[in-house]
Amino acid sequence: MGHVVLLGDSVFDNAAYVAGAPDVVRQVRQRLPPGFKATLAAVDGSTTGDVRRQLRRVPDDATHLVLSVGGNDALGSSDFLSTPARSTAEALSGLADIADAFEREYRSMLAEAISPGVPTAICTVYYPRFPDAALQKVAVAGLTVFNDCIVRAAFTHGLPLLDLRLICTEAEDYANPIEPSARGGEKIARAIVDLVERGPTGGGTRVFT
């Protein structure tokens, strides 16, 4: 028996974007071994700080937590990408300040998530699919600092890591520039079920792609 709980944002709570096709949690349920169930606690639009409210609603019988958050934090800082800078050093310093603030919030939230001892996996933020090549290039570069924080948190705590950057890699994986389609959701669901079926990582970080 097992109970997988999905926490975070619209990477998991994507029903509004798949036009009636199966969303991520439905696809997870379809693939889990007999006796397992899955609950969607993630809420579209959530930031790292919002996950604390989701954690309070985690069922007592949860056996696996999977967390995907950070994309909306990055969106909230996206104005920085168009802010003029007097030098490269000034631009990098500003990006570092954003990363520091995100890392403090993310690590604080993650400490709360793992404190009950339920096995927890975390996800990187996948790259968007903006049609404008210049915007896409800048967005991918900006996400580097957010993903660096997430990857280091995974290795610090020995948590499994689902690298969504290597899971959602094709245009068909997206319903719009920032939301997963049913096809992208299927890939995410398969990675989640693979994580569950492989069992504990033995205290070290295993990367799922």
Q: 88-138 pLDDT, tens per residue?
A: 777 677 777 888 899 999 999 999 999 999 999 999 999 999 999 998 998
Separation CA 10–CA 17 (nearest Å): 9
Query: What does the chain come to in residues?
Result: 209
**Around Cβ 95, how many Cβ atoms within 10 Å?**
18
> Tell me: the pLDDT tens digits for 56-85?
999 999 999 999 999 999 887 766 565 665
Cβ contact 58:114 at 8 Å:
no
Where does 64-191 show beta strands of DSSP type E?
A: 64-68, 120-123, 161-162, 174-176, 179-180
Cβ contact 70:126 at 8 Å:
no
Look at residues 174, 192, 191 and name the one whose alpha carbon lies nearest to residue 183.
Answer: 174
Nearest 5°: the CA angle 31, 69, 101 is 160
> Tell me: the pLDDT tens digits for 163-207?
999 999 999 999 999 999 999 999 999 999 999 998 765 667 898
Separation CA 68–CA 8 (nearest Å): 5
> What's phi and psi for 33, nearest 5 deg?
-60, 160
Nearest 5°: the CA angle 190, 179, 81 is 125
| Mean pLDDT taken over the chain | 91
Separation CA 107–CA 105 (nearest Å): 6
Which domains, ranges and CATH numbers included, belong to the chain? 2-208 (3.40.50.1110)
Separation CA 144–CA 18 (nearest Å): 27
Predicted structure pTM score: 0.92
Type of residue numbered 84 = P
